[in-house]
Amino acid sequence: MSSLAPRPFYHQLSHTLIALALITLAIYLGQDIIVPLAMAGLIAVLLHPVEGWLMRRGFPKVLAISMAVTLAILLVAGVTVLLSMQLADFSDELPKLKKNINDTYREIRRWIRREYSLSYRQQDQYIQKAQTQTLENFQGGETLGVVTGPLGTLILLPIYIFLLLYYRAMLIHFMIVLFTQKHKAKVTEVLHEIKAIIQSYMVGLLLETTCVAVLNCVGLLILNVQYAILLGIMAAILNLVPYIGGLVATVLAMLVTFISHPEIDTILGVVGIFLAVQFVDNNFLVPLVIGSKVRINALVSIIGVLVGGALAGVSGMFLSIPAIAMLKVIFDRVEGLEAWGILLGDQTPEEEKGTLFRLVKKKKRELTDDPAE
């Protein structure tokens, strides 16, 4: 009997699209469970070298994991305390911010009335209509979820991290046994590469965030901007969300600077500093610190960030880049999905041909070399 004919292309494409749709639906419906688990997975991979270092020095496994998780909690708590102290000082300036905003608001209303002949009453009607439409989007259950969701995540996250580190060997063994014996080597290779990518990405992200925070703080201190430390650190944290975070940080810095320095030249100086730091970050820090492990093109990155935000909010935006990087590793090594790996990558066809040419040339040189020499 002859072997079965290969499936038509539209069969493979339809199955792939159905699988993507089901995964997307599962993430959207189960984000309260999946997102904390995914965050815990990233942090667990980051803390695994710390756990290994402690175990090599004689600490039992449970104690080593507990110490690694405690260290992470202390670092986060330290940054939180620093920001809280700055925010406490900033709260005293809120009346001044309100006064400056009201003065600017009145100037804008007068300008709109003069330029567009819209009376104050008409402007109030437009604003009231916009406020009504915005309030209708917030339901009681959704508001409760916004309040209770982060609190539940903070409680469960350390538990998830501990359990993922403790059962790491079992989970890896499960992934290998899940596939047939002939795919064991490829599955092991994929798992090792995913681990290397996540570790490289997370460590690089921490170093990049520290460098961005220092550059922001130095630039704002040179301008003598009030709450320079607070703005610099918050902007660096927001920068963890690719593309979107930098824009939000710039707007927030402009708003806070407006309290004590409403002059236009100071505000423009703050914008210039953030733009300069973003330029240094995108062109020097990211390639140098994070390296070439996460090779994803900018178009897919932006779309992934937007899709992640639509599915799971800010956490989805942060998780989108490592998730796409892991998908690319899988696509590059699964037969029939190589095209999707090319779509996610950042190499042009010319670069792909050049890489392939160099590999073929190297292979020929290895075959023609005399082993006795």
Q: Specify burial of residue 8 (Cβ count, 10 A radius: 0-12, 13-18, 19+).
A: exposed
DSSP 7: P
Q: Of all helices (H) and strands (E), which one includes residue 20?
A: helix 9-29
Q: What is the pLDDT of residue 63?
A: 92
- At 32-64, the pLDDT tens digits run 888 888 888 888 988 888 898 999 988 899 999
Give CA–CA dist 304/323, Å, rounded.
Answer: 9
* Helix boundaries (H) for the chain: 9-29, 31-56, 61-91, 94-116, 120-136, 140-166, 168-177, 184-222, 228-238, 244-260, 264-280, 298-333, 338-344, 349-368
Single pTM value for the model: 0.67
Give CA–CA dist 18/325, Å, rounded.
Answer: 21
Higher pLDDT, 289 or 160: 160
Higher pLDDT, 160 or 154: 160
| Maximum distance among all Cα pairs of the chain, rounded to whole angstroms | 93
Closest CA to 285 of 204, 356, 221, 227: 204
**All residues at 6 or more sequence positions from 59 whose CB lies less than 8 Å from its CB, including other chains:** 67
- At 141-152, the pLDDT tens digits run 444 344 345 555
Question: Is the pLDDT score of 215 beyond 70?
Answer: yes
Question: Is the pLDDT score of 367 beyond 70?
Answer: no
